[in-house]
Amino acid sequence: MTRAPIRVALTGARGGFGRTFLAQLRTIGRMTATQLIDPDVDGVRTLISDLGSLPDAEPIAGHDDVRWDEIDVLVEASGRVEAGYRYAAEAISRGIHVVMVSKEIESVAGVSLARAAREQGVGYLPGDGDQPANLLRLLDWVERVGLHVVALGKSGEYDLVFDPASGIVEQQGERIDAPALADHLLLADDLADTLAARAAAVAPLKRAAAADSCEMAVVSLYSGATADVERMHYPVARPSELADVYARRADGGLVGTDRVVDVFSALRLPGEASFAGGVFTVVTTGDDEVWQLLAGKGHVVSRSGRYACIYWPYHFMGVETPLTIDAVVEGTTPVSEPRHHTVLAARAVGALAAGTTFEVRGHHHEIDGVHPVIIDRADALADDDDALAAAYYVLSGARLARDVADGELIRLRDLDGVAADVRAAFVEGVRL
């Protein structure tokens, strides 16, 4: 008996993720793209024409035009907190599985959405192809084979490519003179000195991104891992060094506690393979002879032999997401239920005046005036809901109701204009 193809609706269809996903879906007979939801309807039509071989695909302008009874799985990739939350919440209420690609929504409302899905008897999973789900898969097999994890994380989206001949560093088309890096391409005995010198050499480049913090906050939801420092370390490191860099501090590394989430800036030379925004774990080793054997086969082992790095140097965006669609339909659950072990919060950068309006901007979904910070759940909680630390992306479209001092956490009581349903979902999730 032939099963009918899984009917997949996609929000944010016009984005880069949408294209990689739809291009892959053309080759998979067990799934079909049906409703492609995006305000840019003309752009979606062009995308369908460009890709071809999407016989069931139809552009949908927005929520009111969705035919919910013709969807088996919703892939939420809009990246817009209010709209995306409502698409996901309604899909779940109608018995439709949800694959969550929008990390912004996951960081705010993933816990409450997952709970609603469980109560409704449908699946809810983070989407393979983006770093959170990929890292969670890697962490799962690393821990299931009995390895002890000290650190886990990803590289920043864009490598630092250094040409020793010219002294130029390039990051995503931006070039700076950094000849001092030539003296620090190898780790010195004092790791901290090398990392400090590298950071100083590339200081003009913006390496930290809100998207990175958001992804690691999502990993925390499902793994219980926490950040060592609230804005993460962001060392400039070569992949071959990660087992040394993410050793415990007592052994000369960066890590203060175990199962720490972090992001590094991947440093490489022209022509060397990219880490490609991939994911890693750093584990403690056991038997010396085993790990000497593995090091001899090219695996990354620290200079001391006490740590090793296991990594996947890729994330293929929508190319991988069909794996999650299979899992969510078949009822397999490769991750645990999410919980707020940490909160992706917002800390003021400079004094902010009442009336300041927050807007998510740019490719990395930054918000001017605040830094994204990963804080322990206990530091976000308060007896009164209004006093809870606001999730970073709750700020989207909101405005300050009072003056906020430099360095203060933004709390729910500080904000006007937060959508009531999004606020309630966050409060419910952080209190679970």
* pLDDT score of 2: 55
* pLDDT score of 80: 94
Tokens of 266: 């991947």
Residues 61 and 142 grouped into a single domain: no
Residues 78 and 100 grouped into a single domain: yes
Listed residue (27, 2, 215, 43) closest to 18, CA to CA: 43
The residue from 103, 129, 155 where one domain ends is 129
Beta-ladder partners of 227: 261
Residue 43 maps to a domain:
yes
The residue from 104, 129, 154 where one domain ends is 129
Residue 334 maps to a domain:
no
The C-alpha atoms of residue 395 and residue 359 are separated, in whole angstroms, by: 8
Domain region containing 370: 342-431
Residues 294 and 347 grouped into a single domain: no
CATH number at residue 98: 3.40.50.720
Residues 192 and 306 grouped into a single domain: yes
Residue 337 maps to a domain:
no
- For each of the chain's 432 residues, which pLDDT tens digit applies? 457 999 999 999 999 999 999 999 999 999 999 999 999 999 999 999 999 989 999 999 999 999 999 999 999 999 999 999 999 999 999 999 999 999 999 999 999 999 999 999 999 999 999 999 999 999 999 999 999 999 999 999 899 999 999 999 999 999 999 999 999 999 999 999 999 999 999 999 999 999 999 999 999 999 999 999 999 999 999 999 999 999 999 999 999 999 999 999 999 999 999 999 999 999 999 999 999 999 999 999 999 999 999 999 999 999 999 999 999 999 987 789 999 999 999 999 999 999 999 999 988 889 999 999 999 999 999 999 999 999 999 999 999 999 999 999 999 999 999 999 999 999 999 999
- Length of the chain equals 432
The DSSP line for 32-93 is EEEEEE-S-HHHHHHHHHHH---TT-EEE-SGGG--GGG-SEEEE----HHHHHHHHHHHHH
Residues 292 and 219 grouped into a single domain: yes
pTM (2 d.p.): 0.96
The C-alpha atoms of residue 219 and residue 211 are separated, in whole angstroms, by: 12
What is the SS3 assignment for 101?
Answer: coil
Residues 47 and 123 grouped into a single domain: yes
Residues 115 and 173 grouped into a single domain: no
Angle at 348 between CA 346 and CA 354, to 5 degrees: 110
Q: Report the chain's C-alpha Rg in angstroms.
A: 22
Residues 138 and 219 grouped into a single domain: yes
* pLDDT score of 48: 96
> Any residues with CB less than 8 A from the CB of 331 and at least 6 apart, and which?
123
Tokens of 286: 């056991």
Residues 255 and 147 grouped into a single domain: yes
Residue 335 maps to a domain:
no
Residues 151 and 118 grouped into a single domain: no
The C-alpha atoms of residue 308 and residue 296 are separated, in whole angstroms, by: 13
The residue from 105, 129, 153 where one domain ends is 129
The C-alpha atoms of residue 227 and residue 153 are separated, in whole angstroms, by: 10
The C-alpha atoms of residue 20 and residue 42 are separated, in whole angstroms, by: 18
> Any residues with CB less than 8 A from the CB of 50 and at least 6 apart, and which?
none
Residues 301 and 186 grouped into a single domain: yes
* pLDDT score of 1: 46
Q: Which residue has the tokens 């809810």?
A: 124
Residue 173 maps to a domain:
yes
Residue 390 maps to a domain:
yes
The C-alpha atoms of residue 101 and residue 20 are separated, in whole angstroms, by: 13
Count of structural domains within the chain = 3
Residue 298 maps to a domain:
yes
The C-alpha atoms of residue 343 and residue 376 are separated, in whole angstroms, by: 6
Tokens of 335: 């991750």
Residues 97 and 229 grouped into a single domain: no
Residue 83 maps to a domain:
yes
